[in-house]
Amino acid sequence: MDSVFDLKSRILSEVRMALDDLVCQNVIKEEDMEELVLPSSEYAFKSRGTNDYIMNEALPFQRVDFVQACSKAYVTPRFCLVEKRRVKMLNEEARLERLKKEILLSNDIASLIGSKHTANFLEFEDDEIASFRRNAMKKKIELQKQKKELFSQFGAAVVKDERITLLPEYLLGEPMPMVIPENLLLSAHLPSDGMYVTVSVRVTLQACQLRTMIFEKYKKKMPGGATDSTLGTDEDYILKATGFQDYIYGESQLLSYDCVRRYLCKPEGPLEVSLVPLSNYRDDLNQINTSVAATIVDKLLAQEEESETDHSNDQEIFDVKVFYSITILNAQRVGLTPAQLGSDCHLFICAEIYHAGHKLGSGFTLGTTASQNPSWHSKIIFDGLKFQDIPLGSRIVFSLYFRRVESSLPWVKGVTKGDECLGWVANQVFDHSYRIRDGKLTFRMWVDSG
C-alpha cells in the first residue's frame, strides 16, 4: 500500500516526464523545468472543495483520516498538489473532532439500514446516483444559507418555527379512504391531567386551525385563575396523535395526515389527539442546530460534475428532425445449448421504445449465425420516430431472439411464430442530465423465464 509520500513522488515523476517530452519538442526550455516543478518535499496534497490537507506523508494513503471519512460515505475525493508555503494551517483539534463525527455518523447510518445495502447503492460510482447526491447536497447547502439569513433578520422566532417543522409529520403515506366523511370526530387530551375536549371538525380543516380551536377550548376549561401569561398562545403548543410520535402542525389539511386516513378506514370512537406544550420538547429542540456548517461530504458532493465529454455542440432535441437510430454491435456469453448451434440457428435483436406503456417504435437486426458471442454491427433506424418526438421518461427495450430457419430462405424482419426470446434488458433513453444517451453502452440482459 503506497504511502502519501510515495504517491506524491510518483505524480511528480510523471509530471517531469511530461515536461521532458515538451523539452524535446522545443516547447519549453530545460532550464525552466526547475521553476515549473519544485522538489517533492515542497508540495502537499489538498482536497479540492474543502480546506483539508494531508500533512502526515508517512501514512498509507488509505489510512489517512480524511480519506477514511470519504470512504465511509462512498464519496471519491479529488486532490491537487499545492506548495506547502501556501497551506493554511487550521485548528488540528477541531479538524480531528469534525472528521471523527463524520465517521461516526456514517457508521450510525450503516447500522440503521445495513452497511451491505448502503454499499450496494453507493459503491459503484454510478453517474446518476452521484448526480442525485450532488443536487441534494447543493439544495441542502442553499437551505442552510437561507436559514442563516432568516436568523440574522428575525432572530430566535424563526429558529423556533423551523425547529418545530423538524419534528416527524407523516403525510400522504396512507391510501385515501374509500368513504370520506364531511366531518371528523376528535377527542383532544389537554395538558392538565384528565382534561379533554371532544370536537367535530371538517376533514379539510388545516392543522394550525385545529390547534387554535382546541387551545381556545382549553382556555375556557381552565379555572378562572389561568391567564394568557400563564398559558401562553396557541403557538406555544403542538398537536400529536396520542400514543405516537406523529405530529400535526402547519397548513396541511387533516385528511392529508396518515393517522387521520388510518382512522377513517376503521372509525371506532373519536380519533385521539393531544395538545402538548412545546416546553416539553425543549431538550429535543435545542439539539437541532439550524445553522450547521456543511460537512466534508456535503462540500465534496456539491462540486460541479467533471465530464470528459464535450457538450458544447449539443443540439436541442426539438431541432433534431432525423429518425432515431442505434447500432447493435455484439453480445457475449449468450449461453446457448448444443442443439441451438446448428447451421439453421440464428440470433437477432429486437429494439422497442415505450413511453407510459405505449410503444412508440421498434426495429430489428438481421439474423446472425447463432454462437455464444454473436456479432451484428447492424444499424437500426426507427422509421416514423424522430429524435424531436421522443418524450422524457421513454425506455428502450432490447430483446435477444433465437430463430431456426434454413439459410436459403429469405430473412423475415420481426418476431415470428416459433421465435424464442432468450433475454431482455430495458433502459432509459435519456440520461440523468436529460440528454439522449449516446456513445458505446453495455447492458446485462435478464434471462427470459417464459
How far, in whole angstroms, is CA 7 from its chain's centroid?
32
- Label residue 371 by pLDDT band (50, 70, 90): very high
User: Is the pLDDT confidence value at 197 over 50?
Assistant: yes
> pLDDT tens digit string along 73-116?
777 788 888 888 888 776 777 777 777 777 776 666 666 655 55
Spatial separation of the C-alpha atoms in residues 143 and 291, rounded to whole Å? 10
Phi-psi group of 122: left, alpha or beta (phi > 0 → left; psi -120 to 50 → alpha; rest → beta): alpha
User: Is 183-280's fold the same as 317-447's?
Assistant: no
Give residue 179's pLDDT band: very low, low, confident or very high (50, 70, 90): confident
324 pLDDT band, cuts 50/70/90, is very high
Q: How confident is the model at residue 163 (pLDDT cuts 50, 70, 90)?
A: low
Residue 161 has pLDDT above 50, yes or no: no
What does the pLDDT read at residue 28?
A: 82
Is 154 a residue whose pLDDT tops 50?
A: no
User: Cα 341 from chain centroid?
Assistant: 45
For residue 367, is pLDDT > 70?
yes
pLDDT of 388-446, one tens digit each? 999 988 999 999 999 999 888 889 989 999 999 999 999 989 887 788 888 888 888 88
Domain 183-280 architecture: Roll (3.10)
Quote the pTM value.
0.45
Cell of 123: 459503491
Q: What is the mean pLDDT of the chain?
A: 79
User: What is the pLDDT at residue 288?
Assistant: 52
353 close to 360: Cβ distance less than 8 angstroms:
yes
Please tell me the predicted confidence (pLDDT) of residue 204: 86
| pLDDT at residue 351, as a whole number | 95
Q: Taking residues 197-212, what's their average pLDDT?
A: 85
Average pLDDT over residues 192-198: 78
For β-strands 247-248 and 237-241, DSSP reports them as antiparallel
Read off the pLDDT band of 257 (50, 70, 90): confident
Q: What is the rounded average pLDDT of the residues 250-265?
A: 82
Q: What is the pLDDT of residues 353-364, one digit of tens each?
A: 999 889 999 999
State yes or no: pLDDT of 160 exceeds 80.
no
Query: Is the pLDDT assigned to residue 259 strictly greater than 80?
Result: yes
Given a cut of 80, whether residue 286 has pLDDT beyond it is: no
Q: Quick one: 137 exposed, middle or buried, by C-beta within 10 A (0-12, 13-18, 19+)? A: buried
Percentage of the chain with pLDDT > 70? 77
Mean pLDDT of 219-247: 74
Start-to-end C-alpha separation, the chain? 49
β pairing state of 183-189 and 271-277: parallel
Retrieve residue 127's grid coordinates: 453517474
pLDDT at 133 over 70: no
Over residues 22-46, mean pLDDT:
83
Distance CA 350, CA 443 (A): 14
Domain ranges of the chain: 4-108, 183-280, 317-447
Q: Rounded to whole angstroms, what are the CA distances from 229 to 57, 226, 236, 268? A: 63, 8, 11, 38
pLDDT of residue 115: 57
Q: What is the pLDDT of residue 158?
A: 40
Residue 201's pLDDT band (cuts 50, 70, 90) = confident
Q: Identify the three-state secondary structure at position 247.
A: strand
Domain 317-447: give its CATH code: 2.60.40.150
pLDDT confidence of residue 276: 82
What pLDDT, on the 0 to 100 scale, is given for residue 306? Answer: 55
The larger pLDDT score, comparing residue 180 to residue 140, is at 180
**Burial degree of 155 (CB within 10 A; 0-12, 13-18, 19+):** exposed
For residue 147, the tally of other CB atoms under 10 A from its CB is 17
